[in-house]
Structure 1
C-alpha cells in the first residue's frame, strides 16, 4: 500500500516545518508532496534545502515539492497535488492536509484500520482547546450541530460518524475514487472547494466517514457555526473578506448543483438575516450578492481584489 501525503502551503513556513517534521515520523507515509502557492516568506528556499537532504537520508516519507506560478489557493493547490500523487507517484491512498494542521502521531495508523471506506478522515480539534471542534459537525438526519469532541465521540457508532468528513484536513482518499470523480475545482480558490469535492464523492456513491478517535490539531478559524434565527440554524461567519467572498460564490454554486434552487434561496435568506440582525454588517450583503452573481456567470476572478 503506497500512501502519499499532499500538503498545500502559502506563507506559513513555521507551521509547514512542524507539519513536515511530524509527517517524517509517520512510518506509513511513502512520500510527502508539498505544493507551494508561490510563498514569499522563504518557504521555497527552505523546501529546496529540505528536499535535497530528504533525498539523501530518508528511508521513507521523502519530500518533494512544486512551486506554483502564483497563489492559486487551497483549491488550486489540492488540484495540482492530488493530480501529482495519482498520475505520477502511483499512490494507492492520498492523505491530504493544509499546512496549519498537525495530526496526532497515531492518526494515520488509526485511519488505516478502517478498510471499507473511500473518503474518510479525523476529527479536527482546536490546538488551544482540544475538546473543541474547529469545524462543527452537523449530524446526519437532522439539524443538530456538534461543537465539541466528547459529544462527537458519543454520537459515533463503532467509532465512526457515517457520511460525514471534514476535507481537506487529514483526509484519506482512495486512488479509485479520485480516478472516478476527478480533482478539486481549482477555480474555487478557497472555501467551498473541499465541500464540493465531498458532495461529488457522495453523488458517486463513495463510502464516507469520520473516525472519531483519529485527531488533527488546527488553529481556531473564528465563528464557524455561529447560531442564528433564535438558535434554529447556524452560519459560517469569517472576518476575512476574501474567505467570505469565496464562500458566498462557491456555496451558491454548490447548492445549485447538488441541492437545487430552494436551498440557494435559503442560503441567501440566511446571509441577509445574519448580516442585518445577528452580526450587523450590511456591506457583507452587497459583497455576497456580487460574489453569487459572478459565480453564476462563470466569473472566478472577483476574489482577486481581496488578495493582499
Structure 2
C-alpha cells in the first residue's frame, strides 16, 4: 500500500443539502483570530455555523468576536483555559448536538483560501483534511502518510509526511490517504463523531488530533488530504523544539499516551520508558535538567491517561 490514491477522476459529489459547522479554538491571539475570521467570511461556500471556543482569553479576543457581523457566529467561553483539546471537545460537542452533517476544525492561526470549504464539501468522504502551506506558498502539510506504531526502534512514529513525500502541492495527487491529521483543517461527518466520540480533553494540547485520527481509522474510516483545499498557516512550526519548557511536558506525556493506547505490540507500548531513559542519559551532554523533569513527570502522568 502506497498511502495515496493515484486515480485522476474527481470523487463523486456528496448530497447538496449537507450542512457544515466550523469549530475554531482560540486563546489570546486576537490579531490572528481576526484574520482567520475574515478568511471564513470570504469563503465561497458559506458555513452554516461558526462555533468559536474562546478559552478564557484575556486580550482583545472578546472585542474581536463581538464585532463579527458577517458570519453565523456562536461563541462558547469556558471559565478557564481548557487547551486546544478541551476547546475542540466543547466545540465538536456543540456542533454534533445541533445536528450539523459535517464539522470542520480550525486553529486561529490558519486562513482558508476562498474555495477551500467548497472543495472539501465536494468530496464524498467521511474524513478529510485541507492541505497547509505557509505564507510564501510552500507546502507545510505535516499530516503523516505513515505513522508507525509497530516498530519499537522508531523513536518518532511519524515516518513520512505529505510535505516530505511530495515536496510541492503540484506534485500531489488529488487526494492522499493520511494516517494522522492536525486539527487545522480536519473535517468529519457526524457519523464519525457518533462512532468514536468527541476529542479527548485530557490531552490539553498536542496529540489530541493524532489520537482522534487513530480512533477514526481503527473504527474503519479512511482520512484523505485534499490537494486543492488550500489552508494558509500564518506561523512557523517551532514548538517541537521547546522540550524543556511547559509545552515539552505535554509533548512527551501525550506522545507516551499515544504509544500506550495504540502501540501494536508490547515493545512499542513500552517505548516511552526507553525514550525517558535516553533523555536522562543524554542530560549531561544536552544540559537538559528541565527536560528530564518533564519526561519523568510525563512518564508518570501518561499512565493515568490509559
Q: Could you say which TM-score interval applies, normalised by the shorter chain?
A: 0.7 to 0.9
2:221 counterpart of 1:221: no
The match for 2:195 is: 180
> Aligned in 2, Cα 1:114/1:271: closer, same or farther, shift over 3 Å?
farther
- Structure having the higher strand fraction is 1
| CA shift for structure 1 position 240 | 6.7
2:81 counterpart of 1:74: no
The 5 Å alignment of 1:52-201 reads 54=69, 58=70, 61-88=71-98, 90-115=99-124, 117-127=125-135, 129-133=136-140, 135=142, 137-139=144-146, 143-145=159-161, 147-148=163-164, 150-151=166-167, 153=169, 156=172, 158-201=173-216
CA contact (8 A) 1:165 1:209 kept: no
The match for 2:30 is: 13
Counterpart-to-counterpart distance in 2, 1:272 and 1:102: 40
Q: TM-score, normalised by structure 1?
A: 0.79
The match for 1:286 is: 293
Counterpart-to-counterpart distance in 2, 1:176 and 1:113: 18
| CA shift for structure 1 position 274 | 6.5
Counterpart-to-counterpart distance in 1, 2:297 and 2:205: 17
The match for 2:10 is: none
What CA RMSD, in Å, does the superposition of the two structures yield over aligned residues?
A: 2.7
> Aligned in 2, Cα 1:97/1:65: closer, same or farther, shift over 3 Å?
same
Counterpart-to-counterpart distance in 2, 1:123 and 1:280: 37
1:106-159 per-position Cα deviation (integer Å, ceiling 9, x unaligned): 2112222221x21110222222x4324163644478944454585264774x41
Consecutive unaligned residues of structure 1, counting only runs of 5 or more, are 224-235, 300-308
The answer to which structure, 1 or 2, has the higher relative contact order (CA under 8 A, 6+ apart) is 2
> Aligned in 2, Cα 1:35/1:183: closer, same or farther, shift over 3 Å?
same
CA contact (8 A) 2:252 2:298 kept: yes
* 3-state SS, counterpart of residue 34 of structure 1: strand
The number of residue pairs the alignment matches comes to 275
| CA shift for structure 1 position 237 | 3.7
Consecutive unaligned residues of structure 2, counting only runs of 5 or more, are 1-17, 149-157
| CA shift for structure 1 position 23 | 0.6
**Runs of 4+ off more than 3 Å:** 136-150, 152-156, 236-240, 264-275, 277-280
Q: TM-score, normalised by structure 2?
A: 0.80
Counterpart-to-counterpart distance in 2, 1:162 and 1:123: 12
| CA shift for structure 1 position 263 | 1.9
1:75-121 per-position Cα deviation (integer Å, ceiling 9, x unaligned): 00000000011102x21111110111111222112222221x21110
The match for 1:2 is: 19
